[in-house]
Structure 1
Amino acid sequence: MYDEAAVSRLESRLRGSLTQWGLGPDAPLRLLAISENATFLAETECGARVVLRVHRPDYHCSAEIRSELAWIEALRASDVAETPAPLRAKNGDLLGGFEDGGRWRDVTAFEFMSGQQPEPGAHLVPWFRSLGQITARLHHHARNWRAPARFARKTWDFDAMLGDRPLWGDWRDGLGLDPQGRDILDRAAGVLRRRLSAYGATPERFGLIHGDLRLANLLVDRDRLGVIDFDDCGFSWFLYDFAAAVSFMEHEPFIAELEDAWLSGYAEVAPISAEDRAMMPTFLLLRRILLTAWVASHAETPTAQAMGVRYTEGSVALAESYLLQCSDDTRAIGAPPAARRPADRRSDLVAG
């Protein structure tokens, strides 16, 4: 979907549609990122910058995209988080687009937000405390917000991630996954399913979340932490937002410090129970196995290419460690494990 020729074609089609947002066809335009979608940066005649997201076909329908934008506007109106404003086209619509090989490609436009993506490392600890606070505010807003009629976003429950209707592909197709690794992940997925079922999906624990607060979607500018890209927002467990925040670095030794900081920041805004804290390893592994499927099903993206087979190998190692913990837990079947200090429960985690 995103080989060099396809990206060049998208850029050409997008350039032809720039007038929808009052931009000239010769406006500077360059590719920013490719993940689910292709994101471009355009510049107006007066030097203002606009971010244009060309949506991947067959992922979100137009109603789902409009719902994402509605939540962003509500969050901005309530000063919940610093995030770029969606921009309306000249016709007043938040959604534009163009024909691409007989298929319609939805396009959304956003204000440009300054800042840099934070780099992985223990220095992230203060930022993760801030991120915990921001996430708690997002969740508080979601619990109390009256969504507009026809609001539609995907539900990210177990079946949508690792079960019978996987939205990002089957984890069994993980790059380089051998029979032994498949057996380990299968047993781990069984424990995840049981623990999540026991934890439950009541409104206090399950609702509208950002769903992708990883480093690529955070922008640091001095003391400001901005949040971008609500494309994966949907209905899931609130604590899953932490697991998403440590995407692709779940195995790193500093994750325990980030978890402590995130929980500390979150608890400053909203309560976190002992049962919630005990579920953190479960959500982390849930996300890791989900991303193992994503890497395989999105192999053309730069992120997936950077991860490769080593990411699958690391997922198997994390799952094996998780199962070893379960073997020492008399409540492994049907209930979360007893709370343990993050540093203790991750001391033996390894990755490829």
Structure 2
Amino acid sequence: MNTIGSAAESVREPARSPGLIERAITSCLPLWPQLADGRATLINLSENHTFRIDGPEGQRHILRLHRPGYHTRDAIRSELDWLQALRAEGGMPVPRPLPGNDGQFIQQVSASGISERFAVLFAFEEGSEPQVHDRLEPLFETLGGYAARNHLHAAGYESADVVRPRWDESVLDPDGIWGDWRKAPGADAVRDVLDRLDTRLRSDLAAYGKGRERFGLIHADMRLANLLVDGERVALIDFDDCGFGWFAYDFAAAVSFIDDQDVLPGLKAAWLRGYARHRALAPEDIAAMDTLVLMRRMLLLAWTGTHAETDLARSQAHLAQLTAELGEAYLNQ
């Protein structure tokens, strides 16, 4: 019997009910031979619903049910193509997509009462997400190395039809990819500072430029929540946001929600050490990291406004105020 675990019952997607998502999962499982009689448990709700599927004999897989309208089929195909190339050509410990009964990696799911959705299945990766109280500098050194290896691979990646989002100054626009930071909780109270920060960030990023040596295909969400640590092995997961952006933005994403803490300088130094083992960064790239950290903050602020139903957004009630404080310091440099 195909069932959905109780974890899903505590999560609400806007204008949907757990019953609708359960119907979608029930429609998904027959599409892959590995998932017969599987039990689905929701493990993450962000842009998509991500489930762990437990089989009757202990086998496990990860099923990603895409949010309607977020990525096109071509965009998902581009992500999976790069993942497979990173594994085969770059030797990276990244997720392995699994084909369905029809040999295709992307399946389309429809069920009564829900919009059509895309679904993708991945092999299960052992490990656990590191916590903020863990010793983070060694992990950030690993992250820096992974980022550099990804960027080196991206520079020579031969795929003219890559369709992925852009993580550039356009994320600050009113119709930015994660929403409008101006409509985020608490933004009105600090609007003057945030408006000035927006203007300054656009100016500094324009001056930095988008040359091939600093702008290309990136993971774009390389934070602690997207690492799985299993002994000495560290896997990098969740390429759902991969797209075109500044290479140094991968550091900005890595320090999401911890960029206001005293550990930041040490984490930055560790990330740079790991990066330098594989790829050189110019002084201008290192200087741009502070700019990109603030751009990421503004992007996350927009995200909290459009994802108010998530636990993560609810935990960031003071994000606008903290962003304004960091922004004021940046403006006064």
Shorter chain as denominator, the TM-score bin is over 0.9
Q: Residue by residue, what CA displacement relative to the aligned partner does 1:99-146 show, whole Å, maximum 9, x if unpaired?
A: 153521100000110111111147100110011011100000000110
1:129–1:264 Cα contact (<8 Å) kept: yes
The residue identity in structure 1 corresponding to 2:177 is L
Change (3 A) 1:188 1:108: same
Partner of 1:166: 176
1:61 shift after superposition? 0.6
Q: How does 1:227-266 map to 2 (within 5 A)?
A: 227-266=236-275
Match of 1:344 in 2: none
RMSD: 1.6
Deviation at 1:3, TM superposition (A): 5.5
For structure 2, the 5+ residue unaligned runs are 1-11
Where does residue 320 of structure 1 map in the other structure?
Answer: 328
Alignment correspondent of 1:44:
55
Aligned partners of 1:37 and 1:54 also within 8 Å: yes
Name the count of aligned residue pairs: 321
Residue 220 of structure 2 is aligned to residue 208 of structure 1:
no
Change (3 A) 1:108 1:287: same
- Kindly indicate whether the alpha-carbon contact (under 8 Å) linking 1:171 and 1:289 is maintained by their aligned counterparts in 2: yes
Q: Which residue of 2 aligns with 1:18?
A: 29
Contact 1:247–1:288 at 8 Å: present in 2 too?
yes
Cα separation, 1, equivalents of 2:267 and 2:153: 24
Hey, what's the Cα distance between the residues in 2 that align with 1:214 and 1:301? Answer: 17
Query: Counterpart of 1:123 in 2: which secondary structure?
Result: coil
- Residue 97 of structure 2 is matched in structure 1 by 86
Structure 1: tracts of 5 or more residues without a match: 326-352
Where in structure 2 are the equivalents of 1:189-338 lying within 5 Å?
A: 189-307=198-316, 309-325=317-333
Q: What secondary structure does 1:103 align onto? A: coil
Instruction: Please say if residues 82 and 225 of structure 1, whose CA atoms lie closer than 8 Å, have aligned partners that are also in contact.
Output: yes
Percentage of identical aligned residues: 43
Q: TM-score, normalization: structure 2? A: 0.92
**Is 1:32 the equivalent of 2:40?**
no
Q: Matched residue of 1:145: which SS?
A: coil
Q: How does 1:64-83 map to 2 (within 5 A)?
A: 64-83=75-94
**Cα separation, 1, equivalents of 2:101 and 2:55:** 14
Residue of structure 2 in register with 1:55 after alignment = 66
How has the CA–CA distance of structure 1 residues 191 and 122 changed in structure 2, closer, same or farther, with 3 Å as cutoff? farther
Q: Distance in 1 between matches of 2:285 and 2:74?
A: 33
- Give the letter aligned to residue 269 of structure 1: H
Counterpart code for 2:213: E
How many angstroms apart in 2 are the aligned matches of 1:306 and 1:90? 40
The Cα offsets for residues 30-54 of structure 1, whole Å up to 9 and x where unpaired, read as: 1111011000011233321110001
Q: Is the 8 A contact 1:211 1:241 kept in 2?
A: yes
Deviations 1:11-70 (CA, angstroms, capped at 9, x unpaired): 232123201112556422111110110000112333211100010111101110011000
Residue pair 2:227, 2:234 contacting (<8 A) in 1 also: yes
